[in-house]
Structure 1
Amino acid sequence: MTLQTNKRIVWLGIAWCLTSILIGLGAGKLTKDLGYQALHREVSDRLLASIHRVRGALNAYHYLPFLLTQNEDVVQLLLTDQDQVDDKQATKVSRYLEQTSLVAGASGLFIVDDSGHTVAYSNWRDQQALHPDEFAKLPVFQFAAQGEEGRFYDNQPNQQAFYYLSAPIYDRSDFIGAAIVRIDLQNLILDTPVDELYAISDDRSQIFIASPQEWLKQSIEDIAKVQSISLSNGAHVTLWSFNQQHYMSHQVRLDDLGWTFTSLVSARLDERYADLVAAITMAGLWIFGIILLFLRERHLKHLSQQETREALLLANESLEHKVEERTQALRNAQQELVQTSKMAALGRMSTAIVHELNQPLTAMRTYIAISKQLLSEPDMVRENLTILDDLTERMAIITSQLKTFAYKKPEQVQPVQLSTALNQSTTLLRARLLEENITLNCDELDDQHYVLGDNVRLEQVLVNLISNACDALSEQADKRIQITSQLRENRKIELRVDDNGPGLNDAQLEHLFEPFYTTKPMGSGLGLGLAIVAAIIRDLNGTIEASHSPLGGARFCILLPSAENAS
C-alpha cells in the first residue's frame, strides 16, 4: 500500500511540474504579447514625432527661395547680359547669398539664369564647388522654369544626400532665372533624443537620415533581419533583429516626399519581463505544489498522531493516575522545601536580631547598676537615663524590622525611598557586616530616588541580595559591597548591588533565578532565595538581571518604575 502511494505521489509530482511549465510558458507568451502591443503603440507615437520633426525642419527653409527672389541685386544681376556682368556685382550677390546661408543654416544658395546656368552662389569662396550647369537638367530648375515651386531629392551613390527647394524669379511677367536652396539631409535633424532609433530611406531602400549615423548609405536589408508577427489584438507588427536584440519597428511612406520613415524601440526589457513572469509562474506553481504536498503529509501525520494518542489514552489511564499522584507528591515536597527555606531565613534573621539586641541590653544593665550607685547625684543619673532612652529607641527600631518583615503583600504600591529601605535592611545585617569586616559603600545611592512598590518587600529583596553578597565574600581578604542607583531614560530607577567576590560563570548566570538552583555547597542553602527575589520584583512590575561586576565579583541590577510625584 505504501509503495503504491509513493508511486502515485511521484506521478502526480511529474504531472504537476509539466503543467507548471506549460502554464508558465503560456503566461510568458501572454506577457510578451501585451508588451509587444504596448511597444507598438509607443513606436507609432515615436514615428509620428519623427515625421513631425522632419517636416518642421524642411518647412523652416520654405521661405528662403522666395526671400532670394525679392532681392533687387539678384534681379539686377539676372537682367544684366552675362557677357557684360561686372565681377563686383556677382561677388556682391554671392556675399549676400553667403550671409543668408549662414543665418538660415542651408548647405548652399544658388542663383541661376533662365538657361539653368549658375551666376551666383553662397559657396563662392570654394572655387571647386562651382558647377555652372549642374541645375540645368534637374527637376528643381525645371519646376521653377514652369513657374512652380520646386522640390527635389538627390541621393547619388557615394555622395551626400541633398534636398533642393526652388522658386522662379520674374521681371514683371518674364522668367529670368531661379533661386535654389540646397539642404544637407544628414544635418537636417539635430535635436533627436539620444536613445531614439529611426531611419529615413528612399524608394531604393537607401538610408540617408538615421540615428545611429553608421546606418547612413546602407539599405535596411544590410542592417537587420526583418520578420512580421501577428498580435492577439489583430495588429501585424514588424521586428528588426540586430545586435542580438529584437526591436519593434513601424514604417510609413510619405508620398509627397517619396521617403519611408522607420522608428524602432528595443523589445529587450519587455522580453526579459515576459521571461521573468514565466519563471516566477513556474516557480510559484512548484512551490504551491510543494506546500500542498507538505500540508497533505502533515494532515496524514496528524491523523496518525491522533490515532496513536487515542490508543495510548486507552492503554495508559492507570499510568497517568500514578503520574498525577507522583506529581502531587512532588508539589507537596516542594512546598515543604519552600517553607523550610523560609524558616531557615527566619532563623538566620533571628540570630542577627538577638546578637543586635544583646549589646544594648548589656549596656542597659550596666547603666542601671551605675544609676543605683549615683542616686545622690541627679545630674549623673539624668545623663545615664538619656543613654538608656537611646538604647531602648535602638531596640525599638530593631524589633520594628522584625514586625514589618512579617507583613503581607499590600494590594497597592506606593512611593518608597530607596535610601530608607536600604537603611532599614542594613540595620538587620549590621552585626554581620561588622563581625565579618565587610565594607558597605552606599555613597552613590541617590536620596531623591523613589520607586513604586512597598517597603516591606523591597527590604526583603535588599536583605537577600546583601546576605548573598556577604556569603560570596567569605573567602576574600578585602570584602566590599557597593550599592548605587541611577535614573534611566525610560523613567525607571536602576538599583545595582556589586561585590568583589569570586563572581559567577556563564552557566551559573543562566540558571541563577531558577528554584532550587544554588551556587553554595551542599547543606548551605536550598536555592529559593533568588527565585523569591525575582518573584517579588516581577510583582512590583520590575526586572532583575545578574552579570559580571566591574569590582570583579557579581552584579545584580534591578529596574523598578520611578515614582515621579513622590516627595
Structure 2
Amino acid sequence: MVVHDLSRPRAPRLPRWLGRPGFHVFLTGLLMVLGFMLAHRLSERSGRDQLSALSTERLELYASNLAAELGRHASLPSLLAIAPTLQTLMQAPGDEAARRAASQMMARVNVRAGTHQIFVATPQGEVLAASETLTPPPRLAEAVAQGRVHFFAADPSTGSTDFYLLHPLRQGGVTGGVIVVRFNLAPLEATWVDLGLRSQGERILVADEQDVVIMSSVQAWKYAVLDHADPSRRKALEASARYPQAVGRDLELPVTLEVHQGQQVSLTLPGASRPRPMLAQQRQILPLGLRLVALSDLSEVRQRAQYAAWGGAAFGASIGLLVLYLSSRRRALRQLTQAQAALRQAHGQLEQLVDSRTAELRQTNEALKTQIAQRLKTESELLQASKLAVLGQMSAGLSHEVNQPLTALRALARNSIRLLETGRADAVAANLQIMDDMVERMSRITRQLKSFARKADEAVTGAVPLLDSVRNALVLLDHRSRPMGLQTDIDIPEGLQVRAESNRLEQVLVNLFGNAMDAMEPESIRRLRVKASADDAGRVLVRVQDSGPGVPEADLPHLFEPFFTTKPAGEGLGLGLVISAKIIHEFGGTLRAERLPDGEGMSFEFDLAVAPAEAADV
C-alpha cells in the first residue's frame, strides 16, 4: 500500500524544453551577447566622460599658458610710446639722426626685454626706425587701418608664427605712426611638440579666425584648413599673404564643436595608414580671435571598453552556467563576487588617479594665475618702492637730524631743573621756548616723512599748491642741503595751483632735487633754482636747475631709459627719472632735460595744467 505525504506541497513541474541542453546553450549565448553590448557601452561612455573632463582641465591650462605668453609684453609698446626719443622721431620723421637714435634705443630695449624685433612705422607700413634691419609684415598697413592692437602673421623664412603688438604714436591728436613689438611663438609651440611626442594620446592646435591652423603640436598640421575649403576659398587664403606657404590639406575637423562633452571625429595622423577616432574639444579665446582645439585619442578608451565588454560577456556566460549547473551555484556566486570586488577596486583606483591628476592641474593653474597677478601688482608698487628707497637713502641723515634736537632737549631739560632750584624762572621760560621750537622742527620732519611714505591713489588728482609741494620736498632733503651749504632760489608765485596728486608730485620733486644735489656734491658753488611760470594756454612750466657739471651730451638721449644711470655702481638703479617721467605723463605733461649754456649745469622741466583755486586738493 502506497501512502502519499500530503503535508509538503509538490513543486510545479517545469516544461520539458526548459531542461534540454540546447535551450541552456541558447540562453548562455544570449546572456553573453547582452552582457557584451551593455558592458561595452557603459565602459565606453564612462571612459569618454573621464577623458573629456581631463582634456577640459588641460585645455584650460593650455589657454592660460598661451594667454600668459601673449600678455607678457603687453605693456611694453605703451611704455616705449612715451620715450622722448620716439617723440622726437615723430616730430621729425625724416631726420636721420632721430631715426638712428630711435633705432639704437629700440635695439637696447629689444635685447633687455627678450623680444625679437621692435620698430616704428608710418600708418602706411613704412619703417622709420627699427631695432634691426627688417621687412615689415604685409598685414601691418591693414592692421593699422583697422585700429588693431595686435595680430598674428607667419614668419616667411622659418614658417613659425609671430605675434605683433601695436600702439599708435600721436602728435596733436593725429596718429603719426605706430610702434610695433614682435615676438615669436616658436618656443611655446616647441613645448607643445615635445609634450605631443611624450604623450601620444593628446594633440593641440590653434586656429585663427580664418579657420587656418597657425600653431600645432603636430607639425604636419601647420597651416591646414579646418573642415573643407573649396578652391575659391583656398585661393583667397593663399592670396591674403598671412601664411608663408600654400595652405595645407583639409583636416576634416568640424568648425563648430561641443564645448564641454566634445565631439568624436576621425583623423589620419601623420605616418598612419588609416584614420583614428579622436575626441575633439575647443575653447574660444575671444580677445585674440583664436580657437584652441584639443584632440584626445579614443583608442585606449575603446580598448578598455573591449576588455569590459568581454567581461560583460563572461558575466552573461556565468549566469547561463549558473542556470545550467545548479550544483556549482555557490562557487559561481563566489567568483562573481570576487570579480565585482576587483572591478570596484579598479574603478576606485582609476577615480583616485583622475582626482590626483585634476588636483595637480588645478594647483598648476592657480600658480600661473598667482604669477600673473604678481606681475601686474609689481608695476603698481614700483612707485611706492621708489619712495621707500629714497627714505632708506635719507635714513642716516634724518637720524642725525633728529638726534641733535634730542640731545639738546636733554641738556636743556636738566639745565631747567637746576634753574628752577635757583629760582630763575625767566631762564627756564627761555629754555622751554627753545625746547618747543626743537619739538616743532622734529614734528615737521616726521609729519612730512609720513605724508611722503603714504601710498598715493593714482586715480585721484586735484588742485595742488605748487609752492607747498616744493617746500615739502626741500624739508625731506634738509638733512642733505644744510651740511653742503646749498643755496636755493625759489621763484614760484604764491597761490599757484596745478592739476596733479600732491604725494606723487612731491616724489617727482624729491627725485629731481636729490639728483641735483648728487651732481653738485663735488662742486664749490652749489645753487638750486626752482622756477614756475603760467602761460595763456592754462599750462604751468616748472624748471629745476642746478650748478653741477651736467650730463654729457652722449648720455642725454638715454636719461629716461630704464636702468640707465650715471652714478657709480651700487648708488642708483636708474629708475628715478623713468618713474618721474611716467608720473608727469599721467598728469598730462612731459618731463624733459637739457644742458644749460656754457656748461653751467642741468635743467629739468615739465609742464602741468593750471588748476582753479576753488578745487584745492585736500
Common topology (TM > 0.5): no
Question: RCO (CA 8 Å, sep 6+): is it higher in 1 or 2?
Answer: 2
Q: Normalising by the residue count of structure 2, what TM-score does the alignment of the two structures yield?
A: 0.40
**Structure whose alpha-carbon radius of gyration is higher:** 1
